[in-house]
Amino acid sequence: MATPGQAAVQSVDAIAAFRLATLNFAAEIQAALSEAEADLGRLPQWLKLDRVPYWTNQIKIRHQAVQDAKRELARKQLMTSPEPHSCIDERKALARAKDGLELAESKLAATRRWIMVWEEKSSQLRAGLTQLRDLADRDLIAAAARLARQVEALDAYLAAASGNLGPDGLPVGSTSRSSGGSASRVAAEGSPDRISAYAGLRRLAPVPPVRAATPTGDENQLVRQPGPMLSTDDIEHLERLALEGLAPRSPDKVLLEPGALASSVLCMIRSDPADGDSGWYLAGAGAAGMQPQPAVAVSIQTILELRPDLTVPLLLPVGTMLVASAGRIASLCQASNQELWS
């Protein structure tokens, strides 16, 4: 039980997991808002680009039909031999033509009226969507940033208390969990709990609906300064493990936090791929001053232009989770959560 003024923190992993869930929720909100805004724009676009031209053209056609019906009635009225002809059919045809013209004119007027009504109502709806977008863009991201700082502080406290710090400032056999998708700290080498700590993190990778809805990122959002490159020794050792799975194509997308490639700690998780989706999710922690952001989608080609050292890791099979710290691979887990790196 905590003393007054102290927090009873039972699990730092739970805080890191909640932070990742917060970022994923922010991404889901952004995807839903984008869809809602697109829906708001579809109706006026259909009215302006489809219905207005259609009814305008119908008015021209039906006006011509009225003129034709009038000429036909006049022609019939002039026919006198051998006796005046009945004009009942022609009068009915003219009445139908006039009714059709009036209908087209009323439809065009109604369409233009509804365009104005919809624009007024949609502006009110967009104001509400803007408030929700501010929640996702500002409040949730700020909350995730605070959680990241708390996790970093708790990790530093635990490491200092145990005296188990490595040269990169992280606990030996562990990596920071402070940023979305970043790896969870694990026990020292040989601990039976080492793998289970990663199992929870794996479940926090974006689910297929979120991956499908994640917008293609503006490359200007990415932190262009790359973080520590993977060491040549580790890449060669990774190649010797011969774990290659389904190779992604250059256009296939990868989900990543904008600052992931610049981070000193990088976590890579591969979920089931889909058409145009490699299944990879990249996130990081440790870059000074880096603010966490919801994931964006970029191509494999973009990733490799910034981090060519990730060519071999991106060939790893589905279910793989790789954690690198300060340019060295700290952990490599299979889908079964079996640790492969030593």
Q: For residue 81, tell me if it sits in a domain.
A: yes
Among 131-140, 224-233, 237-246, 289-298, name the one with the lowest average pLDDT.
Answer: 289-298
- Report the number of distinct structural domains present in the chain: 2
Among 112, 136, 163, the domain-final residue is 163
Q: Is the pLDDT of residue 133 over 50?
A: yes
Residues 210 and 73 in one domain: no
Q: Are residues 157 and 179 in the same domain?
A: no
Check residue 104 and give its pLDDT: 94
Boundaries of domain holding 196: 169-333
Tell me how far the alpha carbon of residue 252 is from its chain's centroid. Answer: 15
Are 208 and 73 members of one domain? no
Claim to verify: residue 97 and residue 234 sit in the same structural domain: no
Mean pLDDT of the region 94-121: 92
Structural element, H or E, at residue 142: helix 141-162
- Asked if residue 157 and residue 18 are part of one domain, the reply reads yes
Is residue 77 included in any domain, yes or no?
Answer: yes
Domain match, 48 and 72 both: yes
How confident is the model over 168-189, as a mean pLDDT?
Answer: 39
- Is 6 a member of any domain? no
Phi and psi of 70, rounded to 5°?
Answer: -65, -40
For residue 109, pLDDT over 70 is answered with yes
Does 287 map to a domain? yes
The end-to-end CA distance of the chain, in Å, is 38
Can you tell me the mean pLDDT for 300-312? 88
C-alpha span between 281 and 271 (Å, rounded): 8
Output the pLDDT for position 196.
Answer: 37
Report percent pLDDT > 90 for the chain: 18
Question: Does any domain span residue 275?
Answer: yes
Q: Which bin fits 83, alpha (ψ -120 to 50), beta or left (φ > 0)?
A: beta
In a domain, 340, yes or no: no
Both 226 and 121 in one domain: the answer is: no
What does the alpha-carbon distance between residue 48 and residue 58 come to, in Å, rounded to a whole number? 15
User: 129, 163, 197 — which closes off a domain?
Assistant: 163
Q: Which of 300, 309, 5, 283 is nearest to 144 (CA)?
A: 283
Higher per-residue confidence, 300 vs 131: 300
Most confident of 171-180, 190-199, 251-260: 251-260
Question: Does the pLDDT value for residue 50 go beyond 90?
Answer: yes
Residues 182 and 156 in one domain: no
> Do both 195 and 327 map to the same domain?
yes
Collapsed DSSP state (helix, strand, coil) of residue 182? coil
Residues 131 and 186 in one domain: no
Computed over every residue of the chain, the mean pLDDT equals 77
State the average pLDDT over residues 241-249: 78
| Structure tokens, 153 | 């502080």
Give 172: exposed, middle or buried? Use CB within 10 Å, 0-12, 13-18, 19+.
middle
SS3 157: helix
For position 103, which CATH number holds? 1.10.287
The mean pLDDT of 302-326, rounded to a whole number, is 88
43 and 153 share a domain? yes
Q: Are residues 326 and 183 in the same domain?
A: yes
3-state class of 248 per DSSP? coil
Residue 44 half-sphere exposure toward CB, CA atoms < 13 A: 15
Residue 2 counted as domain residue: no
| Listed residues 108, 135, 163: the one ending a domain | 163
In a domain, 26, yes or no: yes
Instruction: Inform me whether the pLDDT recorded for 58 exceeds 50.
Output: yes
